[in-house]
Structures are given as structure tokens and as C-alpha cells.
Amino acid sequence: MTEERLATGGDAPRVPTPPIEPPPTLYRMPDPRDAIASGLLAGGGDLEPGTILAAYRSGIFPWPDAAGTLFWWSPDPRAILPLDGMHVSRSLQRTQRRGRFRVTVNRAYADVIAACADRSDGTWITPAIHAAYTHLHALGWAHSIEVWDGEVLAGGVYGLAIGGFFAAESMFHRVRDASKTGLAALVERLRAHGFTLFDVQLQTPHLASLGVVEIPRAEYLAHLAAATARPATF
């Protein structure tokens, strides 16, 4: 999840529940333990829904380079946000108490992923990634949390849910504390709906300040197997 990767609004689900299982991938997933030190595991393949889901179930995620070449990664250690371990700053607590923001779920997925991709310093959300995760949203696997300041989309986060596993892909903010508000709302939702693993892929100083920790890949894979087998629903 990139770095810019509760009052709640009424949810109006606009994705299938339960999600629709796509045709299986044409590829055999590599062993994530074969990744090199950087986490790089493989290149090529496709971004069909079945391929992406098989990858995440195996502890692997796509991350293209600046030229759009598709690579697959499984870093060791892996960054996760413990669902009881998010750090909520005093400023964020004050923002929450004031009720400035309204939070919704799956109301503006297209706007959230577009905002996450709109970065002056470049983005890994290529047109192919954008299309692939939009397809996964239509099938009920990818979801968004939106944070509104009045009628303005002030921040948000999107990611992928499989059973009791959620992989946060990216988040953005246009107003101070909007992305953190979205993240806090997401954590609250995951806890309430029986999720057990919140994956953010790679650690950064910003994410560490929010409570993100790193665990060995072997431990992550064990948690992943248990989480994806849970009958949780986003």
C-alpha cells in the first residue's frame, strides 16, 4: 500500500455479495519463498481476475515498473497492520470527535482508484492495473472506503478482500486527516466483519507511524491461509 495508500454514512452495496468467482488462472503460481531479497518473484503473466486472486491467495501481488512491465512480488518481511494496533493520533481523535467527515463504503470506487493513481510523482497504478482492479470491484472482490468533506471527496482507500483477508492497495487525501479517517474506518469495519489479516505489503516510515509492523514471510503465509479460509464478508 502506498503512503497515501467515525461518522459513517449509510452503506449502499453496489458490488455482488458474495463475490463472483472468476474462471481460474492459466498460470501456476510460483512458490513465494523463491523470491529474491528485494521480494521480486516473477515477471509476465496477465491481470485477469483469476490470476490476481490466485496470486493474493498465494502471498503474491502485482507491482509493475515505471514502464508498465508486470512483475510479481512476495517480500520478506511482510508489512501488516494489526487490527487492534492502529495508532490514532490526538489530532485524528479531535477530527473524529468533531464529526467533520462522512464515511461511505463502495459509493465512489471509480473516483477513489482514479484519485490514488493521480500523483505528480508517478504511480504504479497503470491503466492495466486500474482496469484489472475495477473489474475485480465489479465482481465483488475490490472495495473502497470514501471520506467526504461535505459533498467533496476528501480522501479514500481501496483494496481487495478474500475471506477474512484484506489487502490495502492505496489511499489518498485532499484534506488533512482524510486518508487516516478512511483507514481508521476500514480497520473498524474489518474488525466488525470478522477479518483477521490486514496486509499493506511494504513498510514505510509513514505507515509505521500508523501502527504497521513487519512479520516474517513464513508467519505471514500461515496467517494468510487461515484468513482466506474464513467466511468473512466485507
pLDDT higher than threshold 90 for residue 14: no
CA nearest to 190, candidates 82, 103, 99? 82
Average pLDDT rounded to a whole number, residues 213-223: 98
Residues 74-93, mean pLDDT to the nearest whole number: 93
Q: Quote the pTM value.
A: 0.91
Query: CB neighbours of 121 closer than 8 A, spacing ≥ 6?
Result: none
pLDDT digits (tens, 9 = 90+) for 167-214: 999 999 999 999 999 999 999 999 999 999 999 999 999 999 999 999
Residue 31 three-state SS: coil
Q: What three-state secondary structure class fits 165?
A: strand
Is residue 16 over pLDDT 80?
no
For the chain, which domains are there? Answer: 32-73 (3.30.70.3550), 78-228 (3.40.630.70)
202 or 14, which is more confident: 202
Quote the pLDDT of residue 2. Answer: 41
Rg over alpha carbons for the chain, rounded to the nearest Å, is 17
Cβ neighbours of residue 75 under 8 Å, at least 6 residues apart?
Answer: 35, 38, 39, 201, 202, 217
pLDDT value, residue 9: 41
